[in-house]
Structure 1
Amino acid sequence: MRVSAKSRLGEKLAYIHRHWDGLQTFLYDGRVEIDSNGVENLIRPIALNRKNALFAGHDEGGRAWGRIASLIETAKINGVEPFAYLKATLEAIAAGYPQGRIDDLLPWNFPPSS
């Protein structure tokens, strides 16, 4: 059977062909889920906050909002209370935390909230 590449079915088959390696990744690596719903649900708040930053007044305000929103959502994903995380991190930076160790202050290195 032949299918026109311009038909809806033809477009779908072309998509499958272009993404075949990625579509079968879960068959070769047991850590990969067959669907991405879990990840999509985790990142949805980050994407929504990023969209809200469009209304921050100007470009630099939007970029700053996006950075803070990303830190807050990343803290939540890692089980860290965002206000406590931001307060401790900003206090550490203000107290002269070494720039070479700034990665230590990322949300996944902060103790989770109990």
Structure 2
Amino acid sequence: MSRYVNDGRAPIDNNVVERDIRPFCTGRSSWLFSDTVAGAKASAVIYSLMLTCRACNVEPYAYLLHVLTELPQRPPEADITDLLPFNFSASALQANGIA
């Protein structure tokens, strides 16, 4: 509370942070049942991608559909930075006929 009193520009609550960490707290019980370390890591990667989509205002289902359609068409050494959620755009969906 002392930060808020010293600087009125600071938000009085941390609802944004609490909203962003809520999925981690609710998923914690599900992650107890990961059978392998590799499975837990894969789950964490997908989870991270979905939360990045949300942060970038990208619809997760459309994003995954696009990425899973594009990846098999590219050679293994291809640059895939355009497929990251923060580089993703609606024009990419239209190019694939998804939107």
Counterpart of 1:93 in structure 2: which amino acid?
L
One-letter code aligned to 2:64: L
Report which of the two structures shows the higher radius of gyration computed on alpha carbons.
1
**TM, length-normalised to structure 1:** 0.56
Fraction of identical pairs, as percent: 35
Cα RMSD (Å): 3.1
TM-score, length basis structure 2 = 0.62
Displacement, 1:43? 2.9
Where does residue 40 of structure 1 map in the other structure?
Answer: 18
> Which whole-Å deviations, capped at 9, do the CAs of 1:88-111 have from their partners, x for residues lacking one?
112222211723xx3322212223
Q: Report what 1:79 is aligned to.
A: 57
Where structure 1 has 5 or more consecutive residues not aligned to the other structure, the ranges are 1-22
Change (3 A) 1:54 1:66: farther
| Alignment match, 2:88 | 110
Q: Which runs of 5+ in 2 are unaligned?
A: 91-98
Tell me: higher relative CO, structure 1 or 2? Use CA pairs within 8 A at least 6 residues apart: 2
- Residue 24 of structure 1 and its aligned partner are, at CA, apart by 4.0
Contact 1:80 1:110 in 2 (8 A): yes
Aligned residues: 87
